[in-house]
């Protein structure tokens, strides 16, 4: 978790907000803006990300979870994060997962549904090619670090949108984490995000409503293996959609 040394209030708040969740926070000092080679918070955060991935690689880590100090867990965080992490850790066809990605309504190119044993509230994992925000990122260390070396050559763009353009990116509905309202170091002003996250999550749930309908029969998937919990996975082809690899939604249920 990235946190400015002087913002002890945020560190204390983060510990309280996340104390009952299945992750352990480890604080890391944020890089400070110096108005020369680090002119704004976007530069500072990106450089911290790259520093942390470099350290993770030296330690032999395959994945890293990076959070900002204004991230709050969404409802049922543990339920959704547990199966998403299992699903991602079993695969290598992704590079970055964003647990609170805005502006993805018109850029979804893959839909994966992960069912739960209780048959309620499935977890949707989405392949996307554009989006914003970076308060909850789960990254594959090697491919992400390799592509992050190109940031300077690409003109040092705002990193959150650049990530989804540069890396094989996955998002989720429901969201795992949202950014709290308050002062933004990146924008140097107070920002209100919480209603935006609620609105965009609701619109995505509506857009995905056919994928999220209750399954009419028990598909008998082995939930011990997260790869067997995929009920529908569709890849976008040049001229439309390829034949789905999993169960097909026919307007009433999955065949």
**In this structure, what token pair is assigned to residue 208?**
């995905």
CB 160 within 8 A of CB 133: yes
Q: Write out the H or E segment, with its range, that includes residue 112.
A: strand 108-114
User: Using CA atoms, how far apart are residues 144 and 96, in angstroms rounded to an integer?
Assistant: 7
CB 152 within 8 A of CB 240: no
HEC assignment per residue over 130-183: CCECCCEEEEEHHHHHHHHCCCCCCCCCCHHHHHHHHCCEEEEECCCEEECCEE
Burial of 206 (0-12, 13-18, 19+ CB in 10 A): exposed
- pLDDT tens-place values along the chain, 255 residues long: 999 999 999 999 999 999 999 999 999 999 999 878 898 888 999 999 999 999 999 999 999 999 999 999 999 999 999 999 999 999 999 999 999 999 998 889 888 999 888 888 999 999 999 999 999 999 999 999 999 999 999 999 999 999 998 999 999 999 999 998 776 665 566 777 899 999 999 999 988 888 888 765 554 444 444 443 333 333 333 333 343 344 443 444 334
pTM above 0.85, yes or no: no
């Amino acid at each position: 978790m990235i946190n400015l040394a002087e913002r002890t209030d945020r560190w204390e708040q983060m510990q309280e907000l996340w104390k009952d969740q299945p992750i352990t926070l480890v604080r890391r000092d944020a890089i400070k803006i110096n108005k020369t080679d680090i002119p704004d918070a976007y530069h500072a955060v990106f450089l911290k990300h790259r520093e942390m991935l470099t350290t993770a690689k030296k330690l032999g880590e395959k994945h890293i979870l990076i959070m900002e100090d204004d991230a709050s867990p969404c409802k049922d965080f543990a339920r959704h994060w547990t199966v998403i992490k299992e699903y991602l850790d079993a695969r290598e066809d992704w590079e970055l997962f964003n647990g609170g990605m805005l502006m993805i309504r018109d850029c979804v190119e893959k839909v994966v549904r992960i069912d739960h044993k209780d048959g309620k509230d499935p977890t949707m994992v989405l392949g996307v090619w554009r989006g914003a925000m970076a308060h909850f990122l789960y990254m594959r260390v090697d491919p992400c670090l390799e592509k992050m070396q190109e940031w300077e050559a690409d003109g040092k763009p705002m990193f959150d949108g650049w990530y989804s353009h540069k890396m094989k990116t996955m998002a989720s509905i429901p969201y795992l984490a949202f950014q709290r309202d308050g002062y933004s170091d990146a924008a140097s002003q107070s920002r209100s995000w919480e209603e935006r996250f609620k609105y965009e999550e609701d619109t995505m749930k509506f857009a995905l409503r056919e994928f999220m309908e209750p399954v009419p029969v028990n598909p008998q998937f082995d939930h011990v293996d997260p790869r067997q919990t995929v009920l529908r996975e569709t890849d976008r082809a040049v001229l439309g959609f390829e034949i789905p690899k999993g169960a097909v939604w026919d307007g009433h249920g999955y065949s």
